[in-house]
Amino acid sequence: MKIWPKTPSGKVDIKSLDIEQLESFLTSIDLPKEKGLRIYQAIWQRNIQSFSEINTIAKSDQRILDEHAELYFLELQQMLPSADGTQKFLWKIPQGGVIESVLIPDEDRKGGFSDRLTLCVSSQWGCAMKCSFCLTGDLGLKSHLWASQIAGQVQQISAQLPKGKRITNIVMMGMGEPVHNYNNLRVALKTMNHNFALRLSNRKITVSSVGLLPNLEKLAQELPVNIAISLNASTEEQRKQVMPITNKYSLEQLLNTCKSISELPHQQGRRITFEYVMMKGFNDSLEDAKRLTQILADIPSKINLIPYNENPDRAIKRPAFEQVKAFQTYLVSRGWYCSIRTTRGIDISAACGQLGKSFESA
């Protein structure tokens, strides 16, 4: 007998089902699976609050759905606006805590905002990876998020946007290690991508991972989304100091996996992004830059430099801008695509590596 995901009420969490699962669920409650697409579209595109609003099915079908299933919505606890246009959303979840999403408008060349609007989405409450530079890891892993809670961040923030505005890009770089919560992530990504749901192109969805290799490989094989790797070091020993996952999956294993992923048919023509948090005196030398060119030589890739966002809970310091720029120049002059991530939302603790801890400690 199929076990469906449930909400605390004991009913099936229908928004945690992909379209195939939804059709199977309908069959299990004696409804025709052919009605699945109509129900799926109403749930995700019309933002219905109750099954009685699905006017494309009979009232008797609505009652059956209401008896067996529930439409789950995240509870918005607070929205914090930043001076730079970034917005942080705090969501209270039934698991007992608060998760965060960050909406980031892109600046255009004239200093205004472009049409690109990126949402940084959380996949877990807390994180088990314990990377030394990330405050979310201080919480430990409290709970995996349900698929409805992951995709719901996109749906509910989209519903609040002014007319004519839409989320154009998704980055799974919020709280948690996305592929650690693989089954829920897979369903949520399919929902984000489906034409009868949130209609986001796979090319506009990026999943970041510290390198949880079996699930990372599975993701790359099953879903043609963009892959980003949190690298942050140029040697094995250096990476072990800041990323405990390296004790389980070596840097060599990680790079070999990335090379294999880049050779998959649906990944051809794409570059894997390597995220590199720059920490003063630790990984910011030109020798580090040189080693990066060597270890990434066989992988179609781009490098995203992230100057560390300082905070009182860490002794880690941010390199001088001149040092970051010299690092970038070294890579670019040798043919690498290398960008420097602009720090956004620093005044609301929404910058990279800051999610979760400030609110939990308040």
Q: Which residues are catalytic?
A: 100, 352
218, with CB counted inside 10 A (0-12, 13-18, 19+), is middle
Please name which of 295, 316, 340 lies closest in space to residue 131, comparing C-alpha atoms: 316
Residue 7 per-residue DSSP state: -
Rounded Cα distance, 65 and 36, in Å: 12
Q: What's the longest Cα–Cα distance across the chain?
A: 69
Q: Rg for the chain (alpha carbons), in Å?
A: 21
Q: Provide DSSP, 79-144.
A: EEE-TTS-EEEEEE-TTSSEEEEEEEEEE-TTSSEEEEEEEE---EEE-SS--TT-GGGGG-EEEE
- Joined together, the tokens standing for residue 293 give 């060119």
Rounded Cα distance, 169 and 119, in Å: 6
Rounded Cα distance, 140 and 127, in Å: 5
Instruction: Check: CB of residue 350 under 8 Å from CB of residue 173.
Output: no
Which spans in the chain are helix H? 19-28, 36-45, 59-68, 147-160, 182-193, 213-222, 236-242, 251-262, 286-295, 321-332, 357-361
Rounded Cα distance, 184 and 44, in Å: 17
Please name which of 228, 231, 341, 234 lies closest in space to residue 290, comparing C-alpha atoms: 234
Using the CB atoms, write b or e for 232-248: b if 16+ within 10 Å.
Answer: bbbeeebbeebbbbbee
If DSSP codes are grouped into helix, strand and coil, which group holds residue 295? Answer: helix
